Structure 1
Amino acid sequence: MSYQTQIQDLMREVFVVDLAVDAETYDSAAPGIEVPKKKEMGDFAFACFKFAKVLRKAPNAIAADALAALQPRLKDHPQFAEVAAAGPYLNFKMNQASLAADVVPAVLDGSFLAPRSRNGQKMMIEYSQPNTHKAFHVGHMRNVALGDALARICDWQGYEVVPVNYIGDEGTHIAKCLWFYKNHFDGEVPEVNRGEFLGSLYTQATLMLDPTTLTTYPLAGIYAAQVVRIEMHPSREDQTVVALDLGDREVQVVCGGTGFSVGDRVAFAAPGSRIGGRLVQPTDKGGVASEGMICSARELTIGDDHTRIHVLPTDTPLGAELIEHFRIEGALPEGQGVGAELARRNREVSEVLKALEAKEGPLYDLWQETKQWSMDEFYEIYKWLDARFDHYFFESDVSESGKQAVLEYLEKGVLVRSEGAIGADLSDFGLPFALLLKSDGTGLYATKDISLAQIKFETFGVDKSVYVVDHSQSLHFQQVFRVLEMMGYEKAKDCFHLAYGLVKVVEGKNEAGQSNVVKMSSRKGNVFLFSQLRQALRDETFERYLKPFVGEWSDEEIEEAARWVSVATIRYGMLNTDNLNEIAFDLDAWINNTGNTGSYLMYAYARTRSIKRKLGEQDGSLADWALLTHEAEKRLLSGMSKFHEVVARAAEDFKPNVVCTYLYSLAKDYSRFFSECPIKQAESEALRVTRAQLNDAFGLLLGKGLALLGIRTLERI
């Protein structure tokens, strides 16, 4: 039984028997057992705040009364050396000899670190979810590290864990990639890193389809016009009526923007153009006809200002279409229209997408072949990382079933039609309408996620379903879970979106000499590819730590050590922060073995094994736990005793980072123990054996904690 549980049982007896608190009331008000921030206060703390209303006393007075009632019972609990009241808290200090006798032998015999007994709950953890035909890069590593660590932690905590992957193997990005491959690539397909090769094709395709590579004004249907008159709107104080000269005709628009005057040349969006994805049409605005709109920089996608109307250069010809007039010199042959060329390219991509959706023909065969290139690379990456998946789902497997599910629940009256589309009205839950089928019958991500959830519930029989996906998808999952509840799936309430912040990269310095941290994007091509990451980690590890052992260690051992230090570096770096915080990838800081890093913890473990080898086998029967009186020994023992509590909290809150924080703190306590409590030169044989046992137990516990994070330890490094 954990010490926290023992304290809870004691305090329940005190409050129910001695302080006359109703048992049910106590159970509903009882706080969790805390760990004081200042270790000198004690090992555990019990707060009395919640009983103030029940007992009609101040928390400080309740703590004093509870202590008085508790004291006679402590004679039967020698594990507690001291209990003291500190304001509204009761602080418990453990008997170090009793603590050591409970913890160290149990760690050494394996019982303390053995997985918790099964709790009867089946948990599916979906993580990684890469897209085929895109490159796997360092940003993907956070998802893998989180999902795999959580699977290991929850499995140890007693859940039946089913880790799964959900591969994005269809969509426009694949059509773009294959379009470029078929129409514009004339090189040789590489023998290795074919997934990254496909990602490079996608990046090049995206550039070819990006209007900004051809013109500085990327929207079609936008023309230069001169402001002729500006009058106040007759019924709307915040709008004006603007007359515009297009050279061959005059038009009128109603405008809410500012920052322009009569005589200025502005960007006029004609009817039929699209601004922000919306079709511009003639409209009536408060009784005044508006034949289009004039645009801000944001509406033109050339800046962030959305309140001021964008003013064009004074020499811009009236009536000129901006996409053509401001074309980038040399981007296209003379006489080839920018708008026409972009339309042609996008039309070709659409044709590829239609061919893939038909699920037959040469392009479909090419999709299957190239998809396997990506999958082979993913399998190799997961093998190197030692990440486990029990099952792989694919988007292409749930597209049609998702559409059928939507139509089924539309017929049942759960879903509704809106402007030709089908979705769920979630206004009662304070959420926007959940679009599930577009008016043309096209499904969305939510459509597929609903079908996938049905498979998880009905085929796999999961009790809890965890989705490890970045925080930008939070609204998406809120909607999906609510729709599943509306469909009658009770287990939807046990679905959880584990949101996390994105990984960014450093790109140069700003004027102040600070690092520029920017978001990675496969479309922009500014990603740190996995192959680059793996090689950089291996080279840094070798140069910093393993080069001196060339000739002494075998090549196989050196390469194996380089691999596991590399994995520890990237996994720990991705886990060692709160899930929602963004991460700036910093290879130099992460691989350092003197800070809060994976390699530092691996070194701490290797040190314990080195000491064990030097001391040889010790007769554990000579250990005398009462000899562990040094403050460093006490701190280390106290920290080790909290292993179960920390892992349980990490599993309950889905936060592997609390294990990182715990292990780093524990490793620092061990470092102090190592420095201040000599083992080989101990004053007596009994003390030497006792400290050696503590050293070995700490090593085993640290190794188990690292294993729960997906980090393998090394016997020497």
Structure 2
Amino acid sequence: MEKQILALQIAHILGEEYPRDWVQQQIETPKQSSHGDLAFPCFPLAKTLKKSPHLIAEEVSSQLKHPIFKDVQTVGGYINIFLDQGFVAEHTLNQFYQDPEAFGAHEFGKGKTIVLDMSAPNIAKPFSMGHLRSTVIGNALSNLAQKCGYETVKINYIGDYGTQFGKLLAAYLKWGQEESLKQNPIQELTRVYVKFHHASKEDPSFIDEGREWFKKLEDNDEEAIALWKWFKAVSLEEFEKIYNLLSITFDLTRGEAYYNDKMDTTIDMLQEKGLLEKSDGAQVVRLDEEELPPCLIQKSNGTTIYATRDITAAIDRKQTYNFDEALYVVGHEQTLHFQQIKHVLKKADFAWADQLKHISFGMMLQDGKKMSTRQGKTVLLEQVLQEAISQAANNIKEKNPQLKNAEEVAEQVGVGAVIFHDLKHDRRNDVEFSLEDMLTFEGHTAPYLQYTYARTVSLLEKGNFDPNNPVTDVQTASAWPLIKTIRLFPEVIEKAYQEYDPSKLAKHLLDVARHFNKFYALTKVVGSAEEQALLSLIYAVNYQLKDGLSILGIQAPENM
């Protein structure tokens, strides 16, 4: 609110040349409290107004008047605003208690639908740490979208088709052991797949054999189909264990193979529109005008590739859900692929093609290198989750052996640690896999946030706080940084969604916890003259931590 008020007044003073939105973008939050709560730099105005920034600051500041502004100062070309702390505190808490669930929510997505293509592990391969990123980023974005009013559809688009399955079929028929597949399916399928990869380096004929088996799969060969269905069934069972641990569900789980009998329609449509061209016997759509390489639609041997399936899937999803945005939460190495998909659809006159957005993210690295199933270098997500839970259980046994629901809390803490370790990073950056960092229960971690939340629960219980009878007049000066931080929640939610960046919310929650713990260290709450007002503030902190963690897909235990 205060930013909008300040921006409106400054824009009015400066005139039409400086619109309110531009002014608001310039407003800063000073790092030092001595420089105020808000600051407006006048340097960008100097050239146009032909005055020094200091003089502009003096002239503008003299005209700023509002009850929320307790003091207005100028320092070296900056206008520094000191807010009326009591007014802002009361306004913030009144706004929160009016409807706690709606605090931070928005309605700009109301009546609109977002489809998210996320997680998408490949069958017959282990669910690695690399797949964690798409899964948890996609889930958090879905929750953020819902907080902004959107309807969401989460699609787990399973990788169950493509040339790699021809290689897998060939590999299993050469070296596979049926009993091993029944006992530990993913391990056995990974073993033969890695063996095939190494063997094909020595003997290129293996590659041809893999292609032949994929062609059989496309031609509905009985043996190929039976094995492929078996591999798929055992893989989905294994994946479900992971999703249950992460508490993540999907509105639709569908494999690429679903579109096998629908791709001919897509190819015919592209042919009718005159977009297909032959290139070395293959069918492609040229994208020269976009300065992109041709998009391969059909190989010379008649097989299709995942571009054909993704184009078909996009058309199907638009017809089914009439989405306003379709988000593909997929690693940045697929950037070219999604550029090609979008531009093929645009050339085919689908006006909604611009609604497709590739939400790229960096790689999960191990010792600075990309994890690879083919090379046999991967870290299994289930192992990491179980180890995190085990370490959390050990910490609980050491620090709080009397905890009643220790097993449940250990799972919430361990899984939360793994999810938060990913989401606290800007999604576009690579993340170095480090079990040690992930399982540290101090600092910038989910356990720190969960412990802070449990601390607020304990305080509220000690003070017998009733959220139906809050006192919103907080006068304690040590509470001011905390009030200013929780007040930012609506702005953080909006930015986190609009920039498709859950790390903005993760960092905000860390700020809330840090300011709360600092406030609590300096302030007596239970038994103080301001007890009920301070507990009213703490309940708002409690609610925001739980709400924020939930949006990130992390549970908040009441006791730790």
**How far did 1:624 drift?**
6.2
Partner of 2:272: 411
**How far did 1:37 drift?**
4.4
Partner of 1:6: 5
Report the secondary structure of 1:488's partner residue: coil
- Aligned match of 1:420 in 266, 281, 288? 281
Alignment of 1:304-315 (within 5 A): none
Aligned letter for 2:59? D
Percent of aligned pairs with the same amino acid: 28
Partner of 1:38: 31
1:204 and 1:546, CA in 2 relative to 1: closer, same or farther beyond 3 A? farther
Aligned letter for 2:473? W
* CA deviation profile, 1:669-695 (whole Å, cap 9, x unmatched): 11111111121253x2xx122222222
- Aligned match of 1:536 in 370, 387, 400? 387
Partner of 2:549: 706
8 Å CA contact 1:501, 1:581 repeated in 2:
yes
- Aligned match of 1:563 in 408, 411, 415? 411
**How far did 1:460 drift?**
1.3
1:619 and 1:602, CA in 2 relative to 1: closer, same or farther beyond 3 A? closer
**Stretch deviating more after TM superposition (89-98 or 140-149):** 89-98
Alignment of 1:577-588 (within 5 A): 577-588=425-436
Q: Is 1:660 paired with 2:521?
A: no
1:404 and 1:45, CA in 2 relative to 1: closer, same or farther beyond 3 A? farther
1:190 and 1:183, CA in 2 relative to 1: closer, same or farther beyond 3 A? closer
Aligned length: 557
Aligned letter for 2:331? D
Mapped partners of 2:5, 2:183: distance in 1: 58
* CA deviation profile, 1:195-222 (whole Å, cap 9, x unmatched): 44433332233233332xxxxxxxxxxx
Mapped partners of 2:458, 2:373: distance in 1: 45
**How far did 1:386 drift?**
1.5
Report the secondary structure of 1:680's partner residue: coil
Mapped partners of 1:186, 1:648: distance in 2: 52
8 Å CA contact 2:467, 2:539 repeated in 1:
no
1:156 and 1:618, CA in 2 relative to 1: closer, same or farther beyond 3 A? closer
1:208 and 1:406, CA in 2 relative to 1: closer, same or farther beyond 3 A? same
1:461 and 1:542, CA in 2 relative to 1: closer, same or farther beyond 3 A? same
Report the secondary structure of 2:297's partner residue: strand
8 Å CA contact 1:620, 1:689 repeated in 2:
no
Structure 2 residue ranges without an equivalent (≥5): none
Partner of 1:397: 258
- Aligned match of 2:422 in 570, 574, 584? 574
1:186 and 1:132, CA in 2 relative to 1: closer, same or farther beyond 3 A? closer
**How far did 1:414 drift?**
3.3
8 Å CA contact 1:106, 1:112 repeated in 2:
no
8 Å CA contact 1:122, 1:462 repeated in 2:
yes
Q: Is 1:65 paired with 2:59?
A: yes
* CA deviation profile, 1:104-148 (whole Å, cap 9, x unmatched): 244345155363234332211111111111111112111111111
8 Å CA contact 1:29, 1:50 repeated in 2:
no
Partner of 2:132: 141
1:385 and 1:611, CA in 2 relative to 1: closer, same or farther beyond 3 A? same
- Aligned match of 1:116 in 102, 106, 113? 106
Alignment of 1:284-683 (within 5 A): 339=203, 343=205, 345-505=206-366, 516-546=367-397, 549-550=400-401, 552-554=402-404, 557-617=405-465, 623=471, 625-630=473-478, 633-682=479-528
8 Å CA contact 1:67, 1:83 repeated in 2:
yes
Aligned letter for 1:92? I
8 Å CA contact 2:467, 2:536 repeated in 1:
no
**How far did 1:466 drift?**
1.1
1:430 and 1:541, CA in 2 relative to 1: closer, same or farther beyond 3 A? same
**How far did 1:710 drift?**
0.7
Q: Is 1:95 paired with 2:84?
A: yes
Structure 1 residue ranges without an equivalent (≥5): 212-338, 506-515
Report the secondary structure of 1:690's partner residue: helix
Mapped partners of 1:200, 1:534: distance in 2: 22
Mapped partners of 2:427, 2:506: distance in 1: 12
**TM-score (norm. length: structure 1):** 0.73
**How far did 1:348 drift?**
3.9
Aligned letter for 1:445? Y
1:60 and 1:406, CA in 2 relative to 1: closer, same or farther beyond 3 A? farther
- Aligned match of 1:21 in 13, 16, 32? 16
Report the secondary structure of 2:111's partner residue: coil
RMSD: 2.6
**Stretch deviating more after TM superposition (117-126 or 158-167):** 117-126
Report the secondary structure of 1:38's partner residue: coil
8 Å CA contact 1:113, 1:704 repeated in 2:
no
Q: Is 1:183 paired with 2:174?
A: yes
Larger Rg computed on CA atoms: 1
Mapped partners of 2:275, 2:171: distance in 1: 42
Aligned letter for 1:120? G
**How far did 1:153 drift?**
0.9
Partner of 1:257: none
**How far did 1:698 drift?**
0.8
**How far did 1:571 drift?**
0.7
Mapped partners of 1:624, 1:121: distance in 2: 35
**How far did 1:38 drift?**
0.8
**How far did 1:425 drift?**
2.6
1:21 and 1:52, CA in 2 relative to 1: closer, same or farther beyond 3 A? farther
Mapped partners of 1:681, 1:193: distance in 2: 59
Aligned letter for 2:61? L
**How far did 1:620 drift?**
7.8
Report the secondary structure of 1:70's partner residue: coil
Partner of 1:233: none
8 Å CA contact 1:399, 1:447 repeated in 2:
no
**Stretch deviating more after TM superposition (349-358 or 383-392):** 349-358
* CA deviation profile, 1:31-87 (whole Å, cap 9, x unmatched): 42644241413333445566556655555544433322223xx1xxx2332333445
Q: Is 1:82 paired with 2:75?
A: no
Report the secondary structure of 2:335's partner residue: helix
**How far did 1:707 drift?**
1.1
1:64 and 1:194, CA in 2 relative to 1: closer, same or farther beyond 3 A? farther
Report the secondary structure of 2:19's partner residue: helix
